[in-house]
Structure 1
Amino acid sequence: MTETAASTGTAAWASALLASFAQAGYERAEPAILQPAEPFLDLSGEDIRKSLYLTTDASGEELCLRPDLTIPVARDYLASKRAGQVAGFSYLGPVFRHRGGLRSEFQQAGIESFGRQDRAAADAEMLALALEATGALGVKEVEIRTGDVALFNALIDALDLYPVWRRRLIKDFNRKVSLEQDLERLTLATGAGRNEYEGVLAALAGSDRKAALALVTDLMSIAGTAQVGGRTVAEIADRFLEQSTLKGGALPRNALGLIKRFLAVSGDADEAVAQLRALARDARLDIATAIDQLEARVGFMAARGIDVSSLRFSTSFGRGLDYYTGFEFEVHARGSGSEPLVAGGRYDGLMTRLGSATPIPAVGFAIWVEALTRIGRKPADSRSARTS
């Protein structure tokens, strides 16, 4: 196939895809290409800075070419008269990131759904539409990888850990190396030894972050300094909290074993539910609500014609973005390696972090158009895309 023919085929597929999304109730969104950089840096961390195309406006505000479309679509929704109401949007357009040897400008398509309270049904709809998108280009042999960060959060809450370790473990959940390191440190935490900050550590042991910030701020104010070694007050407070927690022994005796047992749960959805209920029963953990949500989601997926026995569920699966709060998924072409064709999930916490005064449920997915069209063979009727 020539490059022109391939481009024409991709354009036809993209047009048909957007039409199918519109028919499903998702109107076209076209957010500005130039975006404030702060939301991306705040939500993804300073590590993303090296991937952004940055500039500064006349007032000194840092701007960037949009690196994805989820945050821009969400910001436009929150700025509209429909903020807080049920609304769904689809999109197709360029995004910009430094990606090593790959092109820095590439196409992204997707859907964002806001305001729906029927979370399990909305989650299932996202996966069904994602599968329609891959099937529309002839990619039907797929692997569906799923997880649920809400289950991990429920487990950590049920274990009643010190606040510093609760925050640390939840933050590191999507960063597997960091989480493994944290678990190793928890294993080695013995409380042995003394250091020059003994009194401060004793004062902070078991406290929350607000109390630690207040104490460290007061101490640094007395010392007449705002930073030490380039670290802010908040970073220093977090470090003291971590040390005080480790000194006192971070976990109840069996908590580490329960976390590791939880992270080993995997298989098809029904197997995972059974393993999780057994864990909750054996350890007397109150995580039934999160398990019920998983089970309800699987039921809605089955009702949409998805072969749920083909889903690969793992409690350790995560997509590496802090703002996910529940269901997460990736769709891969079978045997294609680690690059996803479609990926997404639930991000209920994002809207308040973007300025909403009240929480707004949100879920969506993004399509890597280049990857999908490279693997796809030919456009097909989207109705054939559902797995059976």
Structure 2
Amino acid sequence: MSQTAAPGATGSAVPAEALLSSFALAGYTKAEPAILQPAEPFLDLSGEDIRKSLYLTTDARGEELCLRPDLTIPVARDYLASAAAGQPAGFCYLGPVFRYRDQQPSEFLQAGVESFGRTDRAAADAEMLALGLDALAAFNVTDIDIRTGDVALFAALIDALDLAPSWKRRLIKDFNRKTSLAQDLERLTLSTDTVRKGYEGVLAALAGSDRKAAHALVTDLMSIAGATNVGGRSVAEIADRFLEQSTLTGGALPKDIRLLIERFLTITGEPDDALAQLRTLASDAGLDLAAAVDQFESRIGFMAARGIDIATTRFATSFGRGIDYYTGFEFELHRKGNGVEPLVAGGRYDGLMTRLGSPNPIPAVGFSIWIEALAATSARTVR
């Protein structure tokens, strides 16, 4: 199977190969992970919802396999299996990925860069954004919206609040799922007494248990009882809601905390302006957010040092890419006025390596490029 061509990729492979060469010159080694991958890491990291998008098969031993739906996880797995694991190393890649996309080709080209093991996080973050912008410039796409965020800032806020651990986990999960967090805050502020009444014993037994096992148990019990759909919710959705209640043992989310979170989520604008607003919020609320805010400020400095126009960069505390394993800086690059789908996107995912089996945390940051979309945008630009 070709590593440089995919349906709809006509005209994009040659400039994409040149792009790969530029990444190699910047010190990134070409990675070529296997097309057939274990399905478990993708399902574990992205949830069962991704199953409907995967192309799955099973080998003779019963192991579930899939055609790779992206290249970040395969590149990370190969790195962890190599002698370089734990040491600074950078990789670039270009190849087909396979994912069901409604009314779009299911095989498409993806290029990108992954950087592992660098402890100078702010500098590495800025380098990824700069390389992503270079990729767009190589395709003559220069009219760019730079959208950035930082889940580490939200995590620092939640960690500094006087909340039960179950609440903290829930709020971080909501942010990473890219749900409407503002809407969810409204629901979570309501008292859970009515939902929990009569089920305290069961909820207490489920609290803190293995989530997969608990979800399977609740789903099986409801299926045995003959439940298929209640109030428009599926059995799986009802099980999720029931398990949610098992973790929220501290009652409703306090209103003052909700208002503080909502204030935090309204911070947006140029990075320097957002930085000032964050320091003011921390001071007003008496919260220690210094480490995360200082890291944000350091990243701004490295971005400027790489020639990125900070004044045209948009930062929002509410920005997130909806990927559960992201832990810090996140970004998307769009052509102005070109809808919601990015041409380049990435971020920091320091938590991924341990979830893939590394005994020790390993810093990691990278980005992906959607080659066909970029080539099509480039073609429209030059006409």
TM-score range, shorter chain: 0.7 to 0.9
Structure 2 counterpart SS, 1:324: coil
Cα shift at 1:249: 3.0
For residues 349 and 147 of structure 2, the distance between their equivalents in structure 1, rounded to whole angstroms, comes to 17
Structure 2 counterpart SS, 1:177: coil
Change (3 A) 1:60 1:158: same
Percent identity for Structure 1 against Structure 2: 66
Q: TM-score, with normalisation over the residues of structure 2?
A: 0.87
Q: What pairs with 1:90-109 in structure 2 (closer than 5 Å)?
A: 90-109=92-111
For residues 110 and 196 of structure 2, the distance between their equivalents in structure 1, rounded to whole angstroms, comes to 53
Q: Which of the residues 215, 218, 229 maps onto 2:222?
A: 229
Q: Name the structure 1 match of 2:314.
A: 312
Change (3 A) 1:94 1:260: same
Q: Does 1:238 align with 2:243?
A: yes
Q: Deviations over 1:143-162 (max 9, x none)?
A: 00000000011111111312
Q: Name the structure 2 match of 1:376.
A: 378
Amino acid at match of 2:130: A
Amino acid at match of 1:249: A
Change (3 A) 1:90 1:378: farther
Q: Name the structure 2 match of 1:362.
A: 364
CA contact (8 A) 2:325 2:351 kept: yes
CA contact (8 A) 1:164 1:209 kept: no
Q: Name the structure 2 match of 1:122.
A: 124
Cα shift at 1:189: 2.2
CA contact (8 A) 2:9 2:109 kept: no
Cα shift at 1:379: 11
Amino acid at match of 2:252: G
Q: Name the structure 2 match of 1:75.
A: 77
Q: What pairs with 1:19-34 in structure 2 (closer than 5 Å)?
A: 19-34=21-36
Q: Which of the residues 349, 352, 356 maps onto 1:350?
A: 352
Cα shift at 1:279: 0.3
For residues 139 and 72 of structure 1, the distance between their equivalents in structure 2, rounded to whole angstroms, comes to 29
Q: Name the structure 2 match of 1:384.
A: none
Q: What pairs with 1:220-369 in structure 2 (closer than 5 Å)?
A: 227-229=220-222, 238-242=243-247, 244-245=249-250, 248-251=251-254, 253-369=255-371
Cα shift at 1:25: 0.3
CA contact (8 A) 1:163 1:209 kept: no
CA contact (8 A) 1:97 1:105 kept: yes
Structure 1 counterpart SS, 2:182: helix
Change (3 A) 1:35 1:190: closer
Structure 1 counterpart SS, 2:345: strand
Q: TM-score, with normalisation over the residues of structure 1?
A: 0.86
CA contact (8 A) 1:323 1:349 kept: yes
Change (3 A) 1:194 1:371: closer
Cα shift at 1:177: 3.4
Q: Name the structure 1 match of 2:43.
A: 41
Cα shift at 1:42: 0.4
CA contact (8 A) 1:31 1:72 kept: yes
Deviates more, 1:177-186 or 1:262-271: 177-186
Cα shift at 1:168: 1.2
For residues 190 and 66 of structure 1, the distance between their equivalents in structure 2, rounded to whole angstroms, comes to 41
Q: Deviations over 1:132-183 (max 9, x none)?
A: 0000010001000000000011111111312222111111103343523430
Change (3 A) 1:45 1:178: farther
Q: Does 1:165 align with 2:178?
A: no
For residues 302 and 315 of structure 1, the distance between their equivalents in structure 2, rounded to whole angstroms, comes to 20
Deviates more, 1:371-380 or 1:277-286: 371-380
For residues 7 and 196 of structure 1, the distance between their equivalents in structure 2, rounded to whole angstroms, comes to 58
Cα shift at 1:241: 2.5
Q: What pairs with 1:88-237 in structure 2 (closer than 5 Å)?
A: 88-177=90-179, 179-189=181-191, 191=193, 195-198=197-200, 209-210=207-208, 227-229=220-222
CA contact (8 A) 2:191 2:252 kept: yes
For residues 299 and 110 of structure 2, the distance between their equivalents in structure 1, rounded to whole angstroms, comes to 26
Q: Name the structure 1 match of 2:4.
A: none
For residues 156 and 81 of structure 1, the distance between their equivalents in structure 2, rounded to whole angstroms, comes to 37
For residues 213 and 25 of structure 1, the distance between their equivalents in structure 2, rounded to whole angstroms, comes to 42
Uncovered stretches (5+) of structure 1, i.e. residues with no partner: 1-5, 381-388
Amino acid at match of 2:30: R
CA contact (8 A) 1:109 1:366 kept: yes
For residues 256 and 136 of structure 1, the distance between their equivalents in structure 2, rounded to whole angstroms, comes to 44
Uncovered stretches (5+) of structure 2, i.e. residues with no partner: 1-7, 224-234
Cα RMSD after superposing both structures: 2.8
Cα shift at 1:190: 6.9
For residues 182 and 202 of structure 2, the distance between their equivalents in structure 1, rounded to whole angstroms, comes to 28
